[in-house]
Structure 1
Amino acid sequence: FSITGFLVSRWISSGHFPLSNLYESLIFLSWALYILHTIPKIQNSKNDLSAITTPSTILTQGFATSGLLTEMHQSTILVPALQSQWLMMHVSMMLLSYATLLCGSLLSAALLIIRFRKNFNFLSKKKKKKLLKTFLFSEIEYFYAKRSALKNTSFPSFPNYYKYQLTERLDSWSYRVISLGFTLLTIGILCGAVWANEAWGSYWNWDPKETWAFITWTIFAIYLHSRTNPNWKGTNSAFVASIGFLII
């Protein structure tokens, strides 16, 4: 709430949406990460995303408020080309998409680390005993059904069901978050094209920012397309998403 209040007060004092420099952009990015952290909690769903969003929000906010960006703390007057409503639409959509795509990519990277790390112990012995005591017969049957299902997949077999369950949740969360981020990125690029045409008379100029945004869009389009192939779900698509993280 404090970040929201800060953004609103800065918007009122400056007369324009607070996205005119790196400092304001980082504050907005930390706000977007916090929103991503809050949504699953509101829905009361199991939130694996918080392991990514919490440290990301703290680090982004910490860097923004550090002494490195002191000269940018003061709001400045926008140049005429930036005095447009498309500034708010384009930049806010791009930052929201980058925040979302970064979280989704980090979830995919976590999936890869867990799947390929040897001797990974997810639960202590005490916790495993408690879980085994609370198992019902139907849950044991479900465990063996999952284990037999793994044999029919192209992925390596996992040492235990807990590891499989965690990686499945990470894969599901990653796909949902990246799908949202890709939609926001597409909207942001389209808004930027309209804004560029109004300001400079051309929808696309292939400058470094536009080119990099297009590369990012292409990588995540490949990721979403790979999800349509059952043989590419999981590990293979996670590799593509991890490449997207490096691109961003």
Structure 2
Amino acid sequence: MTWDEFLWFAIPAMLCWISAGILVYTCKKPAIVEGLMIVGIVIFAAFIVGLWIGQERPPLRTIGETRLWYSFFLAAIGYLTYRHWKYNWLLSFSALVACVFTCINIFKPEIHSTNLMPALQSYWFVPHVTVYILSYAMLGAATIASFIQLRNVYKGKADENLYKLMDNVVYIGFGFLILGMLMGAVWAKEAWGHYWSWDPKETWAFITSAAYLIYIHMRLQKYHPKLVLWLLSVAFLLLMVTWIGVNYLPAAQNSIHVYSN
């Protein structure tokens, strides 16, 4: 399977997600909403598996390929958190953002070589990138929740259950973020002889992880709610710089971490 078939999987998956995002507010049968989300996730996963087989390598090398995983994980996390916490808006926003990233790949098709450079032909490649994208999706879901909570706080009616959801998702996402950094350090040691080189990607990864660590500290110390919630949004902005923005920095063009387009 190649990118040429992506449209035939993306459109049905998005139709399922969009339908679920709408019906969650109007349908009195949650099983229908959950079924639509699951079907969309399965369809999307089928394309990822097919692309993996077709390219004879994990689809994790380029920005376009990581967008696939981001859409998949965000839809999956949105569904799982909805099933546990029953926040309709979280399912809708997760489905919407997953569709946005899917549309980017539709309107910017990418076809890549089936070959990987020697440094990427490592057993650390798949777990390192997968764990990172999973953390990005979870922290993205937490950011969506922070926007809703900010609105609640400004109205003077903060939702304590929403704080619990945010904290749990951030804790898990941060754990995966650190795990990805540790895997990357071990991989770098094997490939280049050193754990850390402070290249632009690594530097921004450190800044991002520090921002989330500060958020966790401030939540535990019960700092001003508005400041803490805004910090979560800033931390996600830093994460986006780490994931995408660094690729456009002149200093990063020779970095092994920069995805090819």
Q: TM-score, normalised by structure 2?
A: 0.70
2:49 corresponding residue in structure 1: 8
Match of 1:196 among 188, 196, 202: 188
Question: Highest CA radius of gyration, 1 or 2?
Answer: 1
1:40 corresponding residue in structure 2: 81
Question: Where do 5+ consecutive residues of structure 2 fail to align?
Answer: 1-41, 240-261
TM-superposed CA distance for 1:239, in Å, is 2.2
1:212-248 per-residue CA deviation (whole Å, 9 max, x = no partner) reads 1111100001111112113x26333212212102212
Against the structure 1 CA distance between its residues 39 and 75, is the aligned structure 2 distance closer, same or farther, given a 3 Å change threshold?
farther
Give the match's secondary structure for 1:6.
helix
Against the structure 1 CA distance between its residues 40 and 110, is the aligned structure 2 distance closer, same or farther, given a 3 Å change threshold?
closer
Q: Which whole-Å CA distance do the structure 1 matches of 2:217 and 2:88 have between them?
A: 26
1:99 corresponding residue in structure 2: 137
TM-superposed CA distance for 1:38, in Å, is 1.9
Against the structure 1 CA distance between its residues 194 and 47, is the aligned structure 2 distance closer, same or farther, given a 3 Å change threshold?
farther
1:145 corresponding residue in structure 2: none
| Equivalences, count | 198
1:129 corresponding residue in structure 2: none
Q: Which whole-Å CA distance do the structure 2 matches of 1:178 and 1:33 have between them?
A: 14
Q: Which whole-Å CA distance do the structure 2 matches of 1:213 and 1:241 have between them?
A: 15
TM-superposed CA distance for 1:174, in Å, is 1.4
Q: Aligned letter for 1:208? A: P
Q: Which whole-Å CA distance do the structure 2 matches of 1:42 and 1:50 have between them?
A: 9
Against the structure 1 CA distance between its residues 242 and 42, is the aligned structure 2 distance closer, same or farther, given a 3 Å change threshold?
closer
Contact 2:78 2:141 (C-alpha < 8 Å) held by counterparts: no
Match of 1:175 among 164, 167, 172: 167
Q: Which whole-Å CA distance do the structure 2 matches of 1:44 and 1:107 have between them?
A: 12
Which deviates further from its counterpart, 87-96 or 32-41? 32-41
Tell me: higher relative CO, structure 1 or 2? Use CA pairs within 8 A at least 6 residues apart.
1
Give the match's secondary structure for 1:16.
coil
1:122-161 per-residue CA deviation (whole Å, 9 max, x = no partner) reads xxxxxxxxxxxxxxxxxxxxxxxxxxxxxxxxxxxx2xxx
Q: Aligned letter for 2:193? A: G
1:239 corresponding residue in structure 2: 230
Q: Which residues of 2 match residues 217-228 of structure 1 at below 5 A?
A: 217-228=209-220
TM-superposed CA distance for 1:12, in Å, is 1.6
TM-superposed CA distance for 1:75, in Å, is 4.4
Matched, 1:207 2:207: no
TM-superposed CA distance for 1:110, in Å, is 2.7
Against the structure 1 CA distance between its residues 9 and 75, is the aligned structure 2 distance closer, same or farther, given a 3 Å change threshold?
farther
Contact 2:57 2:114 (C-alpha < 8 Å) held by counterparts: no
1:76 corresponding residue in structure 2: 114
Matched residues, percent identical? 34
Contact 2:60 2:126 (C-alpha < 8 Å) held by counterparts: yes
